[in-house]
Chains A and B, each alone.
Chain A
Amino acid sequence: MGEIYKVPVGPIHIALEEPVYFKVNVHGETVENVDILSGFVHRGMEALVLRRNYLQNMIVTERTCSLCSNNHPFTYIMAVEKIAGVRIPERAEYLRVIADEVKRAASHLFNVSMLAHLVGFHSLMTQTMETREVLQDVKESIWGNRMDLGANTIGGVKYDLDKDQIKYLLGKLISLKKPVRELAAIYRDNRIVRARTEGVGVLTKEDALRLGVVGPTARGSGVDNDIRKAYPYAAYSKLDWDVVLEDGCDVRARALVRLKEVFQAIDLVEQCLSKLPEGPVALQGYPRIPAGEGVARTEAPRGELFFYVKSDGSSKPERMKWRVPTYLNWEALKVMMPGNKIADISVIFNSIDPCISCTER
Chain B
Amino acid sequence: MLNFIDARCQLGRRGIVREGEPVTKSDILELMDRCSIEKAIAYHAMAKEGDMKAGNDLLLQETEGDERFIRQWCAMPSTFGEFMGAEELAEQMKKHHVSSIRLFPKTHGYSVKPYAMGKFMDVMAQCHVPVFLTYAECGSEDNLYSLLSSYPEVNFIISDASYRENRKLFPLMEQCKNLLLGTGNFVVHGGVKLICDYFGAERMIFDTGLPMGSATAAVALICYAEISEEEKQLIAHGNIERLLADVKL
Query: Do chains A and B interact in one complex?
Result: no
Please list the residues of chain A having a beta carbon within 8 angstroms of any beta carbon in chain B: none
